[in-house]
Structure 1
Amino acid sequence: MRVVGGIHRGRKLIPPGGNAIRPTTDRMRETIFNILSHYPAGLAGTMGLAGARVLDVFAGTGAMGIEALSRGACHATFFDRDRKALQLVKKNIALLGLEDIVTIKSVTAPRFPPSKDSYDIIFLDPPYRLDIIPEVIHSLKENGYLAGNCMIIAEYPSGRILELPEYLSIHKEKSCGEAHISFLIYTP
């Protein structure tokens, strides 16, 4: 496992032990971030991640949020309910010296606390056995996490159909093996 682009490109991350955490592959991460580099999510609508605020729900290793920081995001918040996953996120953040621009919280989705901050990019990669992406998005919206024109990147098993509310539209979709990625745009 490594950072695939940006200022930390090539830096190794600590991988998870065992099968409890299923990180997004380096190849899939590269595909996701190539697509994001052409979306105006950053500060003042700049293309790519420059100045973007990122939320990594179901953070696991933290690789998605770390990749965003490496590519110019100004802040990343990491949510996971698993203590071992949160420890792994903290180790990977420390490995790259990113402690000053992150927030790490123990949160069980979809029970999110109200947020003072909204996010430009949100990564959702729940365990494949859980079919909760629509419920998670609804809770994020109700609790103030979605910035206007926020991009939500949802990873789920190929073959699963997402029921989307009217405030979300599909920007792009990609499949890679067992994984399907939907790039969703929030319109308030």
Structure 2
Amino acid sequence: MSTTAVPLRPIAKGSLTRLWIGVAAVALAAGGLAWAGQGGVAATPVSFLAANAGEAGVVTTPSGLQLKVIEEGSGPTLTASDVALIGYKGTLLDGTVFDENPQAAMPVDGVVPGFSEGLQKMKKGGKYKLWIPPQLGYGAEDNGPIPGNSLLVFDIHVIDFKSKAEIMQMQQMMQHQGGAGAPPIPPQMPGQ
């Protein structure tokens, strides 16, 4: 077996140091761009909401809920006594999805206060984005995948809604017709 020697050129003095400094600079720049691209994830809910309030189309309610109309619905606005059929996606400020459902029935008064308030501004067919501060969400306590004091971000689409009275009437009619009736709608909360 023979070995062939390949002549290596000598490295100029200081080249290796400059190479490592360049690699470090690129890594820092990439990290900074990634952080900026996530909207400054290290922001607290208070600082994020303060900055978000100035964004185009964002409305802040007196309670502190922020919302943006993506697509306005039509017809009457939901009330606290309605049950809404919605599609939604709930994320944390860093983009982590904690709950998602393309079609869920929810009593408007059976969810966290910020979610309920946002639903009561929507109409059938409407699409909104909500930013729910901790005091209108789950507060300081951890709730499953949601850490305490988390800002909740929801994309919501109202598919349809009916009043609880209409649903009860429909169930009674089905029972009178010999059907078992529709199953009761459990009070669900996003994130559970």
TM-score range, shorter chain: under 0.3
Q: Which has the higher contact order (CA 8 A, sep 6+)?
A: 2
TM-score by length of 2: 0.21
Output the TM-score relative to the length of structure 1.
0.22
Work out which of the two has the higher radius of gyration on C-alpha atoms and give 1 or 2: 2
